[in-house]
């Protein structure tokens, strides 16, 4: 069956919960065998991984701005498809995107932690950073593979996968063209130009707060009661795809943080003249943002951690079943043809091979720490246990967070990893430079594993929607991780030699500086905010008992409120679009057109984010910035622009039913 005979759009039930007996048939049916893993797709994917790894690492460390590479790579794959005598198939483009997307995951894992080695003045070697990235990435892949069916198949329609939806829509629209392509491209241009005007020209303020109203500004100062919204197009598009249910839960978490806990902490702490906990200043001198960073955010981190444990318990049957099959494959003779009975689009790597790779990777981590990081096998064993347990535990958190929100709370989970690792190492007698080195490398391995797992679940969902063989994606992801680990290590060492991470001309590396400060304090026996983490743990348990998903709520508490409120706006628009008509078919067409527009916002925002970062690199953004955003009128313009964007999303989606019945 030729691909050209397939549907031009994703099936109608691509984003819906399947009914009893209903199955999902992907864009490329399981019976089709079109080019997928070719020299072209693998070669271009490797080049994409190398280029985007170098670019993302350079920009992330130089200007403190990290961009997601997955959507720009998908756009480039579509653009390059027609450059060959045989046009690239959609399955080849999925492979290109999947390999290339390893760049963003490895960069996120590395630049959040390992520049701290240079900041703390520790002796760093190439193989240490390379192996931390490589082994962490491998661990993220193999811990996720057993969960693929659960997240992408069994949870079909229950989890929105906002970033994955945008990638799938870009690839399908590029394949089919026509009216859908026009809608997507137009939305991408609008969303891209909109976000570019904010990031580069400063024509209006990116974040609007209630302080724009004088009376509410007084309340923000006197009672620490403040709300904010990011008026960006990309994050609004994410909210549309996430939907009203999850967007409401996320924003409810933000409201608890910003409208309840921050004012409460201020009320009880405003008379204290000394710092509390690990804070540097007393509560009486803090703004609302300081209270959030020093206290409330830790409750969210505890909730995220407990949500991971709950997720493991909920999916325990799937995990046990997968590993049981794997051990049976290892120790029992099995008909080689039996595995091939599974449909091509549901065929994973053999679980026996997954288990072997897990064991080999964990052994390599043990040897890596024993021979290349510390000089005692006892500490190496402790490092192995910390890496294995936390990576396994938080894999479900990363996957579910990306599946729900499109944002991976990897920095919060890494912070908790560093705290736990530091406390355990100190109790084991390892302090000083050796302790800080070990803790940061543990953090680097775990951070890369979690970033990889979170992003990879989106790749696998895209493959599920489009009909790509998951086994091919899983195998080739190792190649992408290898290339990205090599490139990010080289860039990291090069930037340290050219610019350095300390001194007047040092690279920004904000996340790594924060992690280094935490490590240094903990190695000096500073107390971690355990009671705040524990409060988050009990909060997550309470939410689970009352049937509220704890992870999105905890994410709402952890993420800055300005990133969550526009999601609610997008989710509310999605609800209006899908419920305004009494005709279900009309509502479906509207929702699908809105998804195209929202995907365009995300794609355009991601692509122009790269352009904005490139412009900021030599300092051109300062010359191009108009300064309007910093004036009071900048917030007024931002509100007007955001409302216009929302109206475009709503009415643009409604145009998807121009041929609706008269009673619609």
Running DSSP on this structure, what letter comes out for residue 177? -
Q: What is the mean predicted confidence (pLDDT) over 489-500?
A: 74
Task: Give Cα separations from 457 to 161, 450, 474 (angstroms).
Answer: 9, 11, 10
- Examine the pLDDT at 427 and tell me if it is beyond 90: no
Task: Give Cα separations from 59 to 111, 381, 406, 491 (angstroms).
Answer: 11, 36, 21, 11
Task: Give Cα separations from 326 to 285, 319, 349, 360, 610 (angstroms).
Answer: 57, 11, 10, 15, 42
Residue 503's pLDDT is 63
Coil, strand or helix at 389:
helix
Is residue 202 within 8 A of residue 627, CB to CB? The reply is yes
CA distance 255 to 261: 9
Residue 2's pLDDT is 41
Is residue 239 within 8 A of residue 568, CB to CB? The reply is yes
- Per the prediction, the chain carries an average pLDDT of 80
- Examine the pLDDT at 477 and tell me if it is beyond 70: yes
Q: Can you name the residues that pair with 208 across neighbouring β-strands?
A: 229
In this structure, what token pair is assigned to residue 491? 């860039």
Is residue 15 within 8 A of residue 242, CB to CB? The reply is no
The predicted-structure confidence for 569-621, as pLDDT tens digits, reads as follows 998 998 888 888 787 778 777 887 887 788 788 777 767 776 776 676 666 76
- Examine the pLDDT at 376 and tell me if it is beyond 50: yes
Coil, strand or helix at 208:
strand
Interior CA angle at 235 toward 591 and 170, to 5°?
55
User: What are the boundaries of each domain within the chain?
Assistant: 180-259+559-657
Instruction: Provide, for the chain, the percentages of residues in helix, strand and coil under a 3-state DSSP scheme, each rounded to the nearest 5.
Output: 75, 0, 25
Among 63-77, 520-534, 570-584, the range with the most confident prediction by mean pLDDT is 570-584
Please name the residue that has the structure tokens 């365009």. Answer: 600
In this structure, what token pair is assigned to residue 529? 């905010």
- Helix/strand/coil (H, E, C) string of 572-623? HHHHHHHHCCCCHHHHHHHHHHHHHHHHHHHHHHHHHHHHHHHHHCCCHHHH
Which residues make Cβ contacts (< 8 Å) with residue 611, sequence separation at least 6?
A: 196, 200
CA distance 5 to 95: 21
């Amino acid at each position: 069956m030729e691909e050209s005979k397939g549907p031009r759009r994703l099936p109608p039930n691509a984003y819906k919960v399947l009914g009893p007996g209903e199955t999902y048939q992907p864009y490329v049916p399981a019976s089709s065998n079109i080019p997928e893993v070719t020299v072209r797709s693998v070669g271009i994917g490797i080049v994409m991984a190398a280029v985007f790894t170098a670019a993302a690492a350079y920009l992330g460390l130089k200007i403190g701005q990290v961009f997601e590479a997955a959507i720009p790579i998908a756009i480039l794959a579509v653009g390059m498809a027609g450059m060959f005598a045989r046009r690239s198939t959609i399955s080849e483009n999925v492979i290109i995107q999947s390999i290339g997307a390893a760049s963003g995951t490895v960069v996120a894992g590395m630049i959040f932690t390992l520049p701290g080695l240079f900041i703390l003045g520790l002796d760093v070697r190439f193989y240490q950073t390379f192996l931390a990235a490589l082994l962490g990435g491998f661990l993220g892949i193999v811990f996720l593979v057993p969960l693929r069916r659960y997240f992408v198949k069994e949870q079909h329609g229950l989890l929105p996968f906002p970033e994955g939806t945008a990638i799938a829509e870009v690839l399908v629209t590029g394949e089919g063209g026509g009216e859908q392509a026009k809608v997507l491209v137009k939305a991408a241009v609008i969303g891209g130009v909109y976000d570019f005007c904010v990031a580069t020209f400063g024509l209006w303020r990116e974040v609007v707060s209630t302080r724009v109203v004088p009376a509410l500004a007084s309340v923000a100062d006197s009672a620490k009661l403040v709300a904010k919204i990011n008026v960006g197009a990309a994050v609004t598009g994410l909210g549309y795809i996430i939907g009203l249910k999850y967007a409401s839960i996320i924003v409810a978490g933000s409201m608890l943080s910003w409208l309840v806990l921050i004012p409460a902490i201020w009320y009880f702490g405003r008379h204290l003249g000394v710092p509390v906990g690990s804070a540097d200043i007393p509560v009486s001198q803090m703004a609302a943002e300081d209270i959030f960073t020093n206290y409330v955010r830790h409750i969210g981190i505890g909730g995220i951690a407990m949500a991971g444990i709950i997720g493991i318990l909920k999916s325990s049957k799937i995990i046990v079943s997968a590993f049981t099959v794997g051990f049976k494959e290892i120790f029992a003779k099995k008909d080689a043809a039996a595995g091939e009975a599974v449909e091509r689009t549901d065929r994973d790597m053999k679980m026996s091979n997954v288990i072997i790779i897990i064991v080999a990777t964990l052994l390599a981590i043990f040897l890596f720490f024993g021979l290349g990081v510390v000089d005692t096998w006892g500490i190496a064993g402790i490092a192995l246990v910390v890496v294995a347990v936390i990576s396994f535990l938080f894999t479900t958190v990363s996957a579910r967070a990306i599946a729900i929100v499109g944002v991976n709370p990897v920095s919060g989970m890494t912070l908790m990893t560093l705290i736990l690792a530091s406390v355990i190492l100190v109790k084991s007698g390892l302090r000083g430079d050796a302790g800080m080195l070990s803790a940061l490398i543990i953090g680097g391995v775990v951070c890369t594993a979690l970033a990889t797992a979170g992003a990879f679940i989106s790749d696998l969902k895209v493959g599920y929607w489009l009909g790509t063989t998951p086994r091919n994606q899983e195998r080739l992801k190792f190649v992408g991780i290898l290339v990205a680990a090599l490139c990010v290590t080289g860039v990291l060492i090069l930037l340290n030699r050219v610019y350095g991470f300390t001194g007047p001309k040092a690279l920004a590396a904000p996340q790594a500086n924060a992690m280094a400060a935490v490590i240094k304090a903990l190695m000096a026996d500073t107390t971690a905010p355990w009671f705040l983490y524990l409060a988050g743990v009990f909060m997550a348990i309470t939410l689970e008992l009352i049937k509220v998903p704890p992870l999105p709520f905890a994410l709402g508490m952890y993420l800055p409120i300005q990133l969550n409120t526009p999601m609610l706006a997008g989710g509310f628009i999605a609800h209006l679009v899908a419920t305004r008509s009494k005709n279900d078919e009309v509502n479906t067409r509207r929702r699908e057109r809105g998804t195209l527009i929202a995907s365009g916002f995300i794609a355009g925002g991601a692509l122009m984010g790269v352009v904005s970062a490139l412009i900021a690199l030599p300092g051109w953004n300062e010359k191009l910035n108009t300064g309007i955003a910093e004036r009071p009128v900048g917030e007024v313009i931002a509100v007007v622009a955001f409302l216009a964007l929302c109206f475009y999303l709503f009415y643009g989606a409604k145009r998807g039913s121009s041929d609706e019945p008269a009673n619609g």
